[in-house]
Structures are given as C-alpha cells and as structure tokens.
Structure 1
Amino acid sequence: MTEPTLHQSVGVPFTRIYSVGAARGDLTVTNDDIAGPIDSSDEWIRQRTGVITRKRASSAVQAIDLAEAASREAIEKAGISPSQIGAVIVSTISNAVQTPSLAALLADRIGATPAPAYDVSAACAGYTYGIAQADAFIRAGLAEYVLVVGAEKLSDFAKPTDRTISFLLGDGAGAAIVGPSDTPGIAATVWGSDGSKWDAVGMDRPFKEAFDDPDGEFPTLRQEGQTVFRWAVWEMAKVAQQALDAAGVTSEQLAAFIPHQANMRIIDEFAKQLKLPESVIIARDIATTGNTSAASIPLATHRLLEEHPELSGGLALQIGFGAGLVFGAQVVRLP
C-alpha cells in the first residue's frame, strides 16, 4: 500500500503590522499619591525611574476590558472584520483567573470565535513573543490575520509599601493586527530565557501559600532592582544589537526605538549602549503611563505614532525583557 503524503499548510512569505490600538487605566496616579507608604517623595521617584504619573484601572475594570478596547481600535484601524482573525494571542501575567484564558474570552467578546486563542506568560517580553508567533502563523498558512495583545492590570498585584517595583506599575492594554505583506515587515526575532535568574523579579510567594494561609498577604510583585538593571542594560543591549544584525539594518536606519518601558534610566542607558543617533526617536511612555509589563511596547508604539505620525512606514527596533528571565526583540515596520 502506498503511504499517503501529508498535506501541509503554506502561507505568504512576508508579514507586517497593520495597526495598533491602546487602552489605558481610567485613573491617573501621581507620585505624591503613592509616596507616603514607601516613605519616599515625588523627586525620588522621578530621579530613580522617570515616572511622573501612572495610569491605573478602577476596581470595576479588568484586564479583559482593557484588552477589548485596545483590540477594537486595532481591528477598526486595520480595516478588517473580526471574523477574518485567524488567531488571538494575549500576553499577560495579570488575568483575573488562572483559567480560562483571557484570549478565549477576548475572542468571544470581539466576535473572533472560533479562532484559536491562548495566553502567553512571558511577562514584559510577552508582546514580542506574540509578534514572533503571529508572523510564524501567517507565513505557515495557519492564519491570514492574527490579533496580538499585551494586557495587564498590575495594580491588582502591587503592594503599596513595596519599594522595589510596585510604585512603577500601571494598567493598560495594547493590541496589534498582524497580516500578510508584499514586502518584509517583521524581521527575524531574537528571543530566549535565563531561568537561573528566576528570583530577580516575580511574585513574592506562591498562590498555594496564600490559599493555605488565608490570614497571610496576597502574593504581589517584587524585584531585585540592581540585578534587573544590570541585566537589562548590559545583556539586553547585546540582544538588541543581535536583532539589528538579524534584520540586516543598522541603528542609523531606524526611525524609532521602542523598548519595554521598565524604567527611564534603563531606557536612557540602552540608547547609550546602542549608540543611537539623534534621528532615532525613543519611546518614553513610562513617564505618564508607568510600567505595564506585556502592554508597554504596544502602548508606547501607539503613543509614538500619535505624537509622530511621520514615523509610519519607518523601521522600529522593539525589545521586551522581564521576569523569567525572558527576552525578545525584533525590527518591525511601523503601521
């Protein structure tokens, strides 16, 4: 008997980002609002982080609500129907429940059912992971359009008295539609992990301990600031350069640099390490939004395009890095 030849799907050779949508928390929280519990000041927070205000969501607003708003904007801007979405990828570490996935609920809300939908837990690198997967799906013929979302309500995991990370955190969601292109719009992704540094940033205790000790504190986020800073500045600058090399471009050919909005000092040092020319516009959304983990890159992209519409069509280097430790970077053509 002749062995059957399996059929495999084959897609288009190139992809690009069609559009970006954004939704930020409905509350503006100033440094003075949070300085008291950490025995700090507006000046100290600005000098250490570059954050002036951060956007946080009220108690009635969940990460799924922010994701829906951002997704609807991205879909409308892309000029496609939700029914054309072949996959929904949501990067988040703050879904209100462990399961079902935020992505499955989002697909239903926006009318993308029965598209496959799943969450990615890659913290602040999650959006770049989602873009990499969307690019691969489309080129493999598994989808025509993919919705990639970074959505976080980190204020639910912020401890008011924590001086390591909580005062940085904001809430928001950014969404992108990725689809077929006549020319390359998403370059090769450089990504990876280093689990040996797992304790540098993350939850301060397992959820199981909270279940077993109802009188104890709810798990919250914390970090070893200096460890994360050194890793981000020195190691991630190398990854960023690798992404440029993988794309076949130089820093002089970039229109924008969009790093994860972790800390303004990290962003500034990043720019120095990469020797970015003054012509490259650097995203600094953290100043008024805060650190929104997986949502920070698409949110920063959205704001950058609003403030500098001339960047549309230009090349941007985006890089995410965070808890895991994990990282991902790629050069993309801005929508």
Structure 2
Amino acid sequence: MHTTAQAAMPGVPQPGTRIAGLGAYRPQAVISNEDAAAQAGVSPDWIAQRVGVQERRHATGSETVVSMATAAGKEALADAGCDPDDVDVVVLATCSMPSPMPNGAAQVAAALGCHATAGFDVNAACSGFSHALAVADALVRAGTARQVLVVASERMSDWVAPEDRNTGPIFADGAAAALVRPCPLPQIFPVAWGSDGAQADLIAIDPGTRQMEMAGRKVFRWTTSALGPVIQSACDQAGLDPAQLKAFVPHQANLRIIDFLARGIEADDLTVAEDVVHSGNTCAASVPLALHELRQRDAITTGDPVLLFGFGAGLTYAAQVVLSP
C-alpha cells in the first residue's frame, strides 16, 4: 500500500480537492483544412464555416491512446511535483481504445512507473474528462485515495472515415491530464451531470464498419436546446453566479455550439476556450486540452473560477466549476 494512501487515512473524508497539475500531448502530424476537405469531398471554407476548424492533429505510428496519455500524465505529475509512486489511482477517460481489453489506465500507470496503483477506464465519450474528474474528486474526498491522476486520451482518427463529411474533417487526436489531490477548501466543486440514452443512436460506432456515424444536425439541436440549464446547475452547486466565471471551457465540438452556449453566460470579461480551431474535436481530451492551452498562454490565472463542460455521445453531459491551478 502507498504511504500516501496511508497518510490520507482511507475512509476518513477529506475537506476538499484541487487540480494540482496539468499536462498535455498533441500529435506531431497537422492536417490542414485543404487536406481534410479533399478527402471529404468538400471545400476548406465549408469546414471552417460549418465547424470552425482550421486544422487538426492526427496520431501516427507509435502515438497510441496509451502513449499519448502517458506523455500527458508525465507532464501533469511534473507540474504538480508528484512522484509516480505517490499516485494512488489512474483514471483514463477514453472511448477510442483499439479493443475493450486490456484497459488503458493500468497500462498508463505502468508506463509512468506507478507501482500497485489502481487503474480503470471511464467511457462517457466527449464528457469523459468531466466524469473522470468527478470520480477523482469523490475518491479523494472520501479518503479512498490521496492523489488521483485523471487522463483523457483519444485517437479518434481510427474510428472515423476521412470521406465522411459529418465526422472525418471534425474529429482528431490528443491527450491531456490533471493531478487531483486534497486541499483545505474545495477547488473542484460538485458535478452537474446526466444522460439521455433514448437518443444514444445519434452518435455511435457501426459494429460492421467500425466507423463513427453521427447525426450532426440532431446533436446540434440537442446541445443548443437541452444543455443550457446544466451551466446554471453547476454554478449553483459551486455557490456562485455565472457572472462570476472568469473562463468557460466547453467540449470543443464546434465553434457554433461553443458560441451559442457562451452567449448564455452573462459574465464580464469571460474567456471562452476555442481550442477546436487548431485541434479539432478530440472527444474526451478536448476539455482538458483547452484548459491546458488557456493556462499556457496565461489567459487564466491561479484561482480563477472556470466552468468545465463536457457533452456528447451517450448522450452524456457533465459540468463542474473548478478554480484554475
């Protein structure tokens, strides 16, 4: 058993949690709109106008879900000053592992040099990171673990057909991670989450072709008509008004959805993450990648209240306010 787990006194609730470190990995291969458009049989302007993407990254060769997650996790641990052996649990948010077994989290833990560390995957598609962050927060507050590494990693390019204009130009690859540990006062606030499984067929993998199929217009209508109240619920559970938010980091589905949701938040000087422009839709990895990008360019400062909001296949959604690390 880890000495850190013993120090946490398993079974004794912790007062609060925080994100202590962030990490990210972006594949080397950049796919331009010109290249993506040629494969999908559309124009570069069509892609830019429909989804706002100008370029995206695709994993190649040895850039796997596990290897990208490991790279992002290594940076998050370094950022938090955490030794791999002090990690009690690794939670991997992904929906793009090449097979259902073995799970990815245990492989990530081993690659990072974590020993006797619990590891499990969470599949909530594009809201996976927010779900996994909520699990990590609960594990630490319950005293079950002291330090939890949450990683989101996707290789979506394996699961979309380049010639499918509804998915090929949109989805992309990448990974990001967050190290969660206790703190005297909560800096990760309660999650507002749910699902609408009656519409699960709107985004799914065809079992025959093993390719994603998405009813884009119906997903757009669901997102823009049903999810607004989730933002208010997440803020209510954090005990603050949406006007107090400093940044909004939604799932990077497309710019039109991001802009629609952001317009519903009446906050002065609100920074809205738009990482989709240069990263595409990286599914579970999109929220932490966008958060990492905001911090890298100093668009947010330590302690800023930030709303994270994932939504997508399932249909699933999850949102929580966090204080910027």
TM-score, structure 2 normalization:
0.95
Aligned equivalent of 2:279, options 289, 301, 320: 289
- 1:277, 1:191 → 2: CA distance? 22
Residue number in structure 1 paired with 2:58: 56
**1:20–1:8 CA distance, 2 compared to 1 (3 A):** closer
- Structure 1 unaligned blocks of 5 or more: 1-6, 210-217
3-state DSSP class of the match of 1:168?
Answer: coil
Residue number in structure 1 paired with 2:169: 167
Q: How far is the alpha carbon of 1:25 from its aligned partner?
A: 1.3
The code of the aligned residue for 2:253 comes to A
Q: How does 1:114-263 map to 2 (within 5 A)?
A: 114-203=116-205, 205-206=206-207, 209=208, 218-263=209-254
Q: How far is the alpha carbon of 1:261 from its aligned partner?
A: 0.3
- 1:165, 1:233 → 2: CA distance? 19
Give RMSD over aligned pairs.
1.3
**1:9–1:275 CA distance, 2 compared to 1 (3 A):** closer
3-state DSSP class of the match of 1:76?
Answer: helix
Quick check: 1:62–1:96 contact (8 Å CA) kept in 2?
Answer: no
Quick check: 1:198–1:325 contact (8 Å CA) kept in 2?
Answer: yes
Q: How far is the alpha carbon of 1:278 from its aligned partner?
A: 4.2
1:16-59 CA distances to partner (integer Å, 9 max, x unpaired)?
A: 11111000111000111011232211111000001000011113
Q: How far is the alpha carbon of 1:82 from its aligned partner?
A: 0.8
3-state DSSP class of the match of 1:160?
Answer: coil
3-state DSSP class of the match of 2:90?
Answer: strand
The code of the aligned residue for 1:259 comes to P
- 1:59, 1:97 → 2: CA distance? 17
- 1:169, 1:59 → 2: CA distance? 18
Quick check: 2:10–2:145 contact (8 Å CA) kept in 1?
Answer: no
3-state DSSP class of the match of 1:166?
Answer: coil
Q: How far is the alpha carbon of 1:60 from its aligned partner?
A: 2.6
The code of the aligned residue for 1:289 comes to S
Quick check: 1:261–1:297 contact (8 Å CA) kept in 2?
Answer: yes
Q: How far is the alpha carbon of 1:270 from its aligned partner?
A: 0.5
Q: How far is the alpha carbon of 1:170 from its aligned partner?
A: 1.0
TM-score, structure 1 normalization:
0.92
Moved over 4 A (4+): none
- 1:15, 1:8 → 2: CA distance? 15
Instruction: Give aligned-pair identity as a percent.
Output: 40
Question: Quick check: 1:314 aligned with 2:314?
Answer: no
Higher Cα Rg, which structure? 1
Residue number in structure 2 paired with 1:75: 77
Number of aligned residue pairs: give it.
Answer: 317
3-state DSSP class of the match of 2:169?
Answer: helix
Residue number in structure 1 paired with 2:4: none
